[in-house]
Amino acid sequence: MIVTKFGGSSLASATQLKKVKNIITSNPERQVVVVSAPGKRDSSDYKITDLLYTLRSHFKYGIPDDGIREMIIKRYVTIKDELGLDIDIEKEINEFFASCSKKTNTATVVSRGEYFSARIVAKFLGFAFVDAADILTFNFDGKIDYEKSKQAVIEAVDKYGNIVVPGFYGAYPDGDIHLLSRGGSDVTGAWLAAFLDADVYENWTDVSGIYAADPRIAKGAKTIQTITYEELREMSYMGANVLHEDSILPCQKAGIPINILNTNEPTNAGTIITSEAVHLHPITGIAGKQGYVSFIINKEHCAGEVGFIYRLLSIFNKYDVSVEHIPTGMDTVSIVTYSDEVKNCTHKIVADIANEFDCEVYTEKDMALIALVGRQMQGSVGISAKIFEILRDENINVKMMVQTPDEMTLVVGVDDDELTTAIAALYEGLSEANLL
Ligand code: ASP
């Protein structure tokens, strides 16, 4: 059995939906279809999910919605009409909006994007519509109730055979909607694939696989044929955003390969993510992200002082901040975090550190981190030399560097402003040197 997931661009219009139908009907193994809400039809268009977030604010503050409702309804009705489907989607959506008040929460409103999308796709494919709220249960801490959900998903497939499920949400035990983070339909698909022990999880999008570097930055960047779960998790964590980072682990644990495919070019083999990927080069891909902050602490002999790091980390723990890296020197320690994590507590953390250690402490903002990922970097000589040579030739200052203990990832910190230049130069230089 194959579990498929189609992203917003694959569901944006009737034309796209016809491509989806061709893909599904060309292989009867494709029994389970997870859908996003309709995305943009072109660059000037809006994603239905973004419109729903905006609409919910209008509901909440009682402000007229400027025709947003109509835009949403029109999109679904146009798709339905162009496909000639016998389903009164306009009535369903209107009834939902009529039931909304100031109190209707974001999850309830926003999840309808995928809900109505799945209603249409199910009708078009002739598959059963199964509401995610009926099969995916989340505990009150937001974690999936694995066993209960697995049971329900298996039962749904046993009962209906072929199903369409809206992505991006499920329900708490009391029935309230639980929304995943943005791009979460990928995660829904991964869970379904794991629960059903699928042969493969196909993730259909608008690019033919995962690029070795962001092609908007690294011109002519190639796609990766195969990549391991671990490598992709590193790349996703560091900003490569083809697949939601939380969607990899469920498939990795269940040993299910993920295939990233292009709805607009369905014969392209795309990228396969497995445990045993074969690489031709030591580096598989480059990803990078702006917006890191470094808390720098200067105090004589601090690195050698027993319990110093422990006490320092307790301060970050107190503010529930996750720490990315801890570069240390004899008399200096720096804590690198993602700026979003500390946006409301930077000054409190600085004050706490200064009080606790009676030391000099300051922050350095606007750092970007670049991850060079490759399982075969392990034990290879000269790769970091080449990386630093490329950055030197571009006159880019390296603010920090870290290699993971398994030697799979090399992380380089540069100024935020230099991120794109650095990635472009690294992609070009490493490809030329046959290392990527
Ligand atoms: N529609 C949601 C989003 O735009 C979820 C998804 O597409 O995966 O984030």
pLDDT per position as a tens digit, 379-405: 778 888 999 999 999 999 999 998 888
Ligand 1: which atom is nearest the Cα of residue 244? 8
Residue 377: band (very low, low, confident or very high) from pLDDT cuts 50, 70, 90: confident
How many angstroms is it from 242 CA to the middle of ligand 1?
A: 12
* pTM more than 0.95: no
113 CB less than 6 Å from ligand 1?
yes
How many angstroms is it from 156 CA to the middle of ligand 1?
A: 23
282 CB less than 6 Å from ligand 1?
no
Residue 277: band (very low, low, confident or very high) from pLDDT cuts 50, 70, 90: confident
Ligand 1: which atom is nearest the Cα of residue 50? 4
Confidence at residue 304, expressed as pLDDT on a 0 to 100 scale = 80
Residue at token pair 């060309």: 26
Name the residue at shortest CA distance from atom 8 of ligand 1.
Answer: 183
How many angstroms is it from 205 CA to the middle of ligand 1?
A: 12
Average pLDDT, whole number, for the chain?
94
Name the residue at shortest CA distance from atom 5 of ligand 1.
Answer: 183
CA angle, residues 217, 223, 229, in degrees to nearest 5: 105
Return the number of other C-beta atoms located less than 10 Å from residue 244's C-beta: 22
- Taking a C-beta distance cutoff of 8 angstroms, is the pair 407, 260 a contact? no
Ligand 1: which atom is nearest the Cα of residue 188? 8
pLDDT for residue 300 is more than 90: no
429 CB less than 6 Å from ligand 1?
no
389: phi > 0 → left, psi -120 to 50 → alpha, else beta; which?
Answer: alpha
Q: Say how far apart CA 230 and CA 222 lie, in whole Å.
A: 20
| Secondary structure E strands in 123-248 | 128-129, 163-166, 169-171, 177-179, 200-205, 226-228
